[in-house]
A and B are shown apart, each in its own frame.
Chain A
Amino acid sequence: DSGVTQTPKHLITATGQRVTLRCSPRSGDLSVYWYQQSLDQGLQFLIHYYNGEERAKGNILERFSAQQFPDLHSELNLSSLELGDSALYFCASSGGQVFRGYTFGSGTRLTVV
């Protein structure tokens, strides 16, 4: 157990639908990062939040949005889903005072049918 919790682990939904992925960072970590990993692809950075504020955006589609709540958990919202959105979505967290790298959750596997 890495300490970063992602739910759900698996999600199957139809095209055009909307889903919400949830991430609870490791205790004490203020930063949350979201990544997308399509089949046989590397990690694609989506967005970074630090203590509730958006800090950086990567190649995140306009159909996707995220937020970090006061208790530091984060949600990634994916709407108007397309077949190509099928992927593993990872959340990672890192510490506030001392940077020690990222701790990853086990991911949410999204399948759009």
Chain B
Amino acid sequence: AQSVTQPDIHITVSEGASLELRCNYSYGATPYLFWYVQSPGQGLQLLLKYFSGDTLVQGIKGFEAEFKRSQSSFNLRKPSVHWSDAAEYVCAVGSAGNMLTFGGGTRLMVKP
């Protein structure tokens, strides 16, 4: 069965600092991987996705993520965090014909 683990429930970073959010997955085949962002009381917005090809993918709002097959990871990064990035970040894994499995999310707080 597929699963997603986001080890950090909460992360606090200072504005302007770099950010890395961890995502580890378990999946029997080549996965499709996703990162979503959820602002309070809002729906989930797709930040970026990986299907195949280049393992470093660029997304919206200056985010990127790197697929590392050997580590079963798909960590999300941003070089300089803005106060508006404070939100819940959710990683997901799946494939065509299979449903997505979502991680528990990481809540990002940004200090001024």
- Which A residues form the contact surface with B (CB < 8 A)? 2, 4, 33, 42-43, 45, 48, 56, 88, 90, 92, 98-107, 109
Contacts and interface: CB of A to CB of B under 8 A. Distances in A.
A6 to B, nearest CB: 8
Contact of A102 (B100, B103, B105): B100
Q: Is the interface of B mostly helix, strand, loop or mixed?
A: strand
A79 to B, nearest CB: 25
Contacts of B32: 99, 101
Nearest to B49: A101
B100 to A, nearest CB: 6
B45 interface: yes
A99 B43 contact: no
A106 B38 CA distance: 10
A107 B43 contact: yes
B42 interface: yes
A5 to B, nearest CB: 11
B105 A42 contact: yes
Contact of A2 (B34, B43, B95): B43
Nearest to B34: A101
Contacts of A100: 49
